[in-house]
């Protein structure tokens, strides 16, 4: 997984006055947990743009006072009106320590059901997984090509030795549903893929699925 480096400064004072002064100067008050003791620091608000305003996820290298700390964003508070960043919490981790993160899911391929007029619907755009930061992917690839109308793709279809999925096995990532544009294709069942070759999919009767949607 990619990492972003953010340069900050330790905070000598953590009172309301100093916090307000920091925000007025364009700085964000932050706290780093996970070490022997919590570290209060601040960094320019613009330095967090590539961490927050992006669909991607990253670990963070916090650098201040000549020391580097590997961390993940734990919590963030925004102003309810201006959306200004008010405060951020980070958690420090070691290289041999597993961490939990929400990883984006990217669909790969065009489902067979979509070619026949169905619609691909996502139930899960991000998946919570646990593993070593060095082995966590930037995104998780979900191959949706074999999905017919009525098929569902479960989280077990994207299992990996590099991380542990923190969702129940019956959690649905996406499914192909019927639509009014559905067309009958005589050879839809040709080249049928054996159930064991497409893990974590569930097939329903297409006619029943269409009747259910039209009800």
pLDDT at 212: 42
pLDDT at 205: 45
For residue 68, how far is the Cα from the chain centroid? 25
Of the candidate CATH numbers 3.30.70.1140, 3.30.70.100, 2.40.240.10, 2.102.10.10, the domain formed by 3-94 belongs to: 2.40.240.10
pLDDT at 5: 94
- Architecture of domain 100-214 in CATH? Beta Complex (2.170)
Is there a common fold for 3-94 and 100-214?
no
Q: What is the mean pLDDT of each run of 10 residues along the chain (215 residues)?
A: 91 84 91 90 93 91 91 93 93 93 95 92 96 93 95 96 96 90 52 42 43 43
Cβ atoms within 10 Å, residue 87: 14
- Segments of the chain assigned E as strands: 3-7, 9-10, 27-33, 39-44, 59-64, 67-78, 85-92, 98-108, 119-122, 126-132, 140-143, 152-154, 164-165, 172-177, 201-202
Q: Where are the domains of the chain?
A: 3-94, 100-214
pLDDT at 184: 53
Question: pTM of the entire structure?
Answer: 0.73
């Amino acid at each position: 997984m990619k990492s972003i480096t953010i340069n900050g400064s330790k905070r000598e004072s953590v009172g309301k006055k100093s916090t307000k002064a920091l925000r007025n100067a364009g700085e964000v008050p932050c706290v780093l947990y996970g070490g022997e003791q919590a570290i209060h620091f601040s960094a320019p608000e613009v330095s967090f743009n590539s961490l927050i305003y992006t669909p991607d996820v990253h670990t963070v290298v916090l650098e201040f006072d000549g020391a580097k700390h590997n961390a993940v964003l734990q919590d963030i508070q925004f102003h309810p009106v201006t959306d200004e960043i008010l405060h951020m919490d980070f958690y420090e981790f070691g290289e041999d320590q597993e961490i939990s993160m929400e990883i984006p899911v990217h669909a790969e391929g065009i489902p067979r059901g979509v070619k026949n007029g169905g619609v691909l619907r996502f139930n899960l755009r991000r998946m919570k997984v646990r593993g070593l930061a060095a082995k966590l992917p930037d995104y998780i690839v979900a191959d949706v090509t074999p999905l017919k109308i009525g098929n569902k793709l479960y989280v077990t279809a994207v299992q990996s030795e590099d991380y542990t999925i923190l969702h129940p096995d019956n959690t649905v990532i996406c499914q192909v549903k019927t639509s009014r544009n559905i067309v009958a294709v005589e050879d839809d069942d040709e080249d049928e893929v054996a159930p064991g070759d497409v893990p974590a999919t569930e097939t329903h009767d297409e006619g029943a699925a269409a009747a259910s949607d039209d009800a």
